Structure 1
Amino acid sequence: MDDRKKQIKTMNAAETLLGRQIKVKTVLNEQMEGRPKHSSFRIIKISHIKEILSVEQEKKDYANIGYIHLDGVKNREMEAMRGFSEQVSKMGVGVSKEGQDIFYALSKTLPCRWSKDTIIVMDEVYITPPYGVEDCKSNHTTSLARVKKVLEGERKRLNIK
């Protein structure tokens, strides 16, 4: 048997024995065996392996694998991607830690997004660095007053002066 066929046969045997306690015999008649409930490994050249045996009895009572609904898997994937996209959109690029902390605090109660290094709240109020109450700008006085009040409270809570 040539080396390539021997490698394929050995790899197929290894796949069927994955997770089991095995005994390995080498071409030098050396035997190696794993211990129950312990993980161990040895690196052995395939050309040195003579035989691989399972120490355990083969189980015949494996549970059948149920049908996997791909629609459910796709929905979970889309939900995870949406969540990831939302997390990424909340990260400011090139902003200070203080600015990011303020953004996270504001976004818990008000809809916020980034536009470069500016926090845009409710699509009406713009907060520029260093993200103080005096850095808020808007043409909507009621929204501006509300955001300033929330920002002032969050800065106190975060101990930012």
Structure 2
Amino acid sequence: MATMMDPVTEEFAIGCVLSIKTTLGDDFEAQVITFDRASNILVLQEGSKSGPRKNLRLLKANYIKEFTFLRQAEDPLDLKNCYLDLSSLQAREESAIRQAEIEAERIGVGVTAEAQNIFDALSKTLPVRWDKTVIVVMDQVRVCSPYFPESVSGGTPAANERVRKVLELERKRLHARGSHS
């Protein structure tokens, strides 16, 4: 028969399988690998129902709403059955690095907060990138400091005019937002 345990007063025994409900609404079964009392972090191993793959979950114990002891199991770190999919981990890492680089390229270096706000606003409707402190729109139109419609140069007359209009509208919007703060 399963028993309810109080996460505050009970130790989490290594190897025991628990049914856990979190304060965030998660409901899952996992085996305790270890519990670090100093950080209050529980390291859990969730088994995949579809095969031998397992998932590790680190959970702050104060996020546990309730848990039930289901059974005691074998050593959770049975290394002969331990497998890391390194190619999958490397792919996830490379994807995260690419995403961080893309996000970093969207942040101007040595520009004012206003310039960054203008860049962000333009990026919602047009393809933009930074070239040092110059905003390059559609790979042809350049917007230099102080980022007014008069600061727009290059590109076809239609593209240039479009950027001027969008810039003018965004400056009005930013100014209106700033005056209400």
Q: Please, what TM-score do these two structures have when normalized by structure 2? A: 0.53
Is 2:135 the counterpart of 1:122?
Answer: no
What is the count of residue pairs matched by the alignment? 111
Q: How does 1:16-27 map to 2 (within 5 A)?
A: none
Partner SS for 1:75: helix
User: How far is 1:121 from its partner?
Assistant: 0.5
RMSD: 2.9
- Choose between structure 1 and 2: higher strand proportion: 2
- Choose between structure 1 and 2: higher helix proportion: 1
- Looking at structure 2, the residues matched to 131 and 119 of structure 1 have their Cα atoms a distance apart, in angstroms, of 9
Deviations 1:93-125 (A, max 9, x none): 111110011111111221111112111111111
Q: Which residues of structure 1 form unaligned runs of 5+?
A: 1-18, 22-36, 42-58
1:85 maps to 101
Is 2:74 the counterpart of 1:61?
Answer: yes
- Looking at structure 2, the residues matched to 113 and 40 of structure 1 have their Cα atoms a distance apart, in angstroms, of 46
Q: Which residues of structure 2 form unaligned runs of 5+?
A: 1-11, 15-34, 40-71
Q: Please, what TM-score do these two structures have when normalized by structure 1? A: 0.58
* Structure 2 CA distance for partners of 1:39 and 1:67, relative to 1, 3 Å: closer
Question: Which structure has the greater CA radius of gyration?
Answer: 1
Is 2:119 the counterpart of 1:103?
Answer: yes
2:157 maps to 141
User: How far is 1:83 from its partner?
Assistant: 0.8
Higher relative contact order (CA 8 A, sep 6+): 2
Give runs of ≥4 in structure 1 deviating > 2 Å.
37-41, 59-68
